Amino acid sequence: MIGTTLGDIRDHIEALANEEGDYSLICGRYGERPIPAAGLRFESRPTARAAAQATEQYRAALRRYDPRLPQYDVIAQQAKQPHGVTELDQHSSDTNVDHQSLPDLDPATERQHPEQRELVEFCHRVAATVFEALSKQEYEALETVVMDSYFDLAETVTDPNDLCLCLLESMATELATRLDPAEQANVLSCASTLLTPLASVEKPVSTTFTRLQQLGFVGAYTQEPWSLGLDDGTRSVVIHLSEYALSPQCGRLPVLPIVLDLYRRDPDWLPSVVRVVDGGDGWRVTLVLAREADPEGLTSVPIQPEKAYP
């Protein structure tokens, strides 16, 4: 549906990139790094401008399906300058307007605090990547169902923060309903490869939840000690969450963003089972990681009562 177009544009941007390049792309108004060019560097200003134009094309294509995607004015930034000076490309990539007279953004986006914009961008990044993965794996009917649900939501949910969260809730629910666990795992694995690679870290689980906390996706979390499954070669950990951004849907809790982030951080130990217990004042999430996963519920999982918790 949209994956081929988005994938082609992403491949073009990545082909322009050079790890040794002096230039990167940012939003001229907010200084945020737009997907899909976040983390990429470019050798010259003309190349960076070409990448900026492609990035805007990517976001414009995605906005046809997601009208609330934040509108950024993508510009080139020279990162390496003598004496620590940073030079900004004073022209947008497609209109060549001066940086001081940037076009007006969507009013709802304009009113958001930086933290809110970052949360919204994160949600759209997750959703766009999963859509692209669904397209690559030829789940066109599922793409259509999720988008139809999103358009229904857009007619009633006007707040951009709420709408992007509702999109993730709906997407996680449809994936859990229409795909078996192995198919869910394949989609998540594909989606994780479409995102900017992350550096290996010693503690991927705590890194994931710390990042979600910084985004405002989680209010607070605590992590219990790890348990090792000597018989089945798994390891598990319990995470206590408060103020989780996604709401229960039909007795299930959407966990898609959590699991996708974990897929990115440690491909050798993937989530195979996610269990959720309603703790009254938050959620108790048990993550079971395995080298060879036989997955269960990875996108939206049944909520167990407090007494079911061991």
Confidence (pLDDT) at 59? 81
Q: Collect all residues with Cβ–Cβ distance below 8 Å to 256 and sequence separation of at least 6.
A: 126, 130, 168, 171, 172, 175, 298, 299, 300
Tokens 């993965």 belong to: 133
How far is it, in rounded angstroms, from Cα 47 to Cα 41? 10
How far is it, in rounded angstroms, from Cα 284 to Cα 304? 10
The model's pTM: 0.71
How far is it, in rounded angstroms, from Cα 89 to Cα 171? 37
Query: What would the pLDDT profile of 29-56 be if each residue is shown by its tens digit?
Result: 777 788 788 889 999 999 999 999 998 8
Confidence (pLDDT) at 95? 33
Q: Which residue stretches of the chain have pLDDT < 70?
A: 1-7, 64-68, 80-115, 307-310
Confidence (pLDDT) at 80? 56
Domain ranges of the chain: 1-103, 203-308
Handedness of CA 46, 66, 190, 259 (dihedral sign): positive
Helix (H) or strand (E) holding 288: strand 283-290
